[in-house]
Amino acid sequence: MVLTPGQYWSDTGAMVMTFAAGAALQASLRTGSTCASNTGADANLLVEYKMQATGDTDSCAGTSCNGFCTALTSDPSNCGNCGTACASGTPCTSGSCGACTPTTCTAQGANCGTISDGCGGQLNCGTCPTGQTCGGGGVANVCGGCPTGDVVCAGACVNTTNNPSNCGTCGNACAAGEACVAGVCTCPSGQVFCGNACVNETSDPNNCGACGHACAAGASCVSGSCSCPTGDVACGNACVNETSDPNNCGACGHACASGQGCTSGVCGTTGAAVCGNGIREAGEQCDDGNTTNLDGCSSTCQLEQDQRVNSLALLGTTDSFCANNELGHTAFTSTALTQFNSSLSASIGAGTANQFFIFTGLTDLTGVSPQSGIQVGMIDGTLTDAYTTGFSGSSDLDWWYTFDPASVNASNVPLSQITASIVGSVLTAGPGTINVPNFFSTTPPTWPLANATLSVNIGAASAPTESSSGNPPGHLASEHLDPSIESFASMTTGKLCGVISATTLAATPIPGELLSGGADACSEGYTLTNSMLDMLVSGCKVLDGLVTVVNPSQPDTALTGTSVCTLTANGSHQVTSPPSCLAADGYSGYIQFSTDRVIVK
């Protein structure tokens, strides 16, 4: 058989040769033009043969192809199937023509020992760390097993003699505070097991002297015995001072009559409470050493219930509560309301727009019990500048604010108030006149809202915060606030409906951005000589008159008399109607709001 140039292998196929048993067979491979003398030295010759004699039976460990026994996994002449030959020079690997790609330890999930690379070679997959052996966990060529003394719990090696999560056996967890000693859950020295935890019965006020024996409120546990502070005694479930406590005056449970105080353990009116002496006495909720309003503790030594507006919007609708809303429903377009309300919300959140409801005459600070004769007023103010760290205008419970002196009288009482009542945790007030924030200018800071009616839901009560550092939030220790007091912490779904007089609007300048040269100047060409009333009567269009933000409108409510004037303006859009008309008529408006409790000083 002769190979042509470029041919790397060839198969002669079946050849029948007869030879005697035990005869030696020779096969040689030669190269070059003189095959007889040039013996090849760089090739392999595979000879497959089968001896057969009378009585022999065929037996092939592989596959018989054309009478020859072969391995289909590696025979390039019969690769995968009889007669399927690989291209010249291409080996047969695992029954497919092509080179063999060795596998890896990672691919086989092995991390120790040696494994086959799948191509006739071996892979060394490393050794195991100290304490583990190859195959010790039951998986060949995978490190497993645990150090001496450890066992496998949930896939991890643990020592059940000292592991508090697997003490004595897998999954047996010790209680909080317990240690695992020699496979047994044990409390540290000096502690005993009580309920689900280890406790020290010599110092734990909830387990003083014995498991479950709790000391009275305010008492401490000393050497296994409950002890009240010096001067106090245990009474029921609390420590009290029988020399000054009107509910336990002279003896535990001996309460003084209403209005009486307890002095040296004796009830009486002698030495009755004196507001402003810096000592909280009978009938007082606080005493800060003065009789001044708007400092956290009122002039009558009662907690001041101040609520800051933390959301406010001018509505563009009417309903059964507020049937007339000329400003929001007619004058201002939805575009103007959206921009205005968004700007107002940002100012409230930043603490630059601050309006407060001030209450006097509250008999139940929680707002749960029905009550009447309450006075409600609104004032404005500023965030106390020195204490702004950690401030959030939308969540400022018991934060500090400074009131505007111009919005109160000499006694620090709001200039205008309306009478209110509470029924079913809903406060209603009016009709009357109450000052509301000037939505559009700082001049004046507030507007008198006539014919005002108010409705708002009272929120849940909580104990007023006490300042721990002398900074907000919270009341100062010098106010001597009664720690048992609770007051409503918020008001929600607030509605305020009323009328702003044309006179007030005539005294309010137009926002600067709507004036000529402003960022959103009205095409009507308003100047500093024009007022909000001028703009309401003549309207406002922006973007070269393409977008209307204020529709021309007229007062809709008579404040005095029964008729409403029709206001007129000159060529400069200045209202020229007589002052009597302006004083007699106004624009209705509808406000929605919510609040939370703050401290106004």
pLDDT of residue 22 exceeding 80, the answer is no
Q: Give yes or no for a contact between 247 and 484, defined as CB atoms under 8 angstroms apart.
A: no
Whole-number percent of the chain with pLDDT over 70: 88
**pLDDT tens for residues 527-560?**
999 999 999 999 999 998 899 999 999 999 999 8
pLDDT at 515: 96
**Rg (alpha carbons) of the chain, rounded to whole number:** 48
* Percent of the chain's residues with pLDDT above 90: 53
CA-wise closest residue to 127 among 115, 116, 111: 111
Q: Give the DSSP H or E segment for 594.
A: strand 585-600
Query: Residue 476 pLDDT more than 80?
Result: yes
In this prediction, residue 170 carries a pLDDT of: 92
Q: CB of 40 within 8 A of CB of 30?
A: yes
Does the pLDDT value for residue 301 go beyond 80?
yes
What is the C-alpha separation between 566 and 582, in angstroms, rounded?
10
Find out whether 191 and 198 touch, Cβ atoms under 8 Å.
yes
The model's confidence at residue 217, banded by pLDDT at 50, 70 and 90, is confident
Q: Which two tokens stand for residue 226?
A: 């409950």
Three-state secondary structure call for residue 192: strand
Confidence class of residue 190 from pLDDT cuts 50, 70 and 90?
A: confident
- Burial of residue 451 (number of CB atoms within 10 Å: 0-12, 13-18, 19+): middle
**Tokens encoding 338:** 């959206």
Q: How far apart are CA 292 and CA 299, in angstroms?
A: 5
- pLDDT above 70 (res 268): no
| Domain residue extents for the chain | 1-97, 316-378+408-459+486-593
Q: Which amino acid is at 9?
A: W
* Over residues 491-509, mean pLDDT: 96
Model confidence pLDDT, tens digit, residues 130-149: 667 788 777 889 887 777 78
* Residue 110: both structure tokens together: 């092995």
- Check: pTM over 0.95? Answer yes or no: no
The arithmetic mean of pLDDT across residues 274-278, rounded, is 91
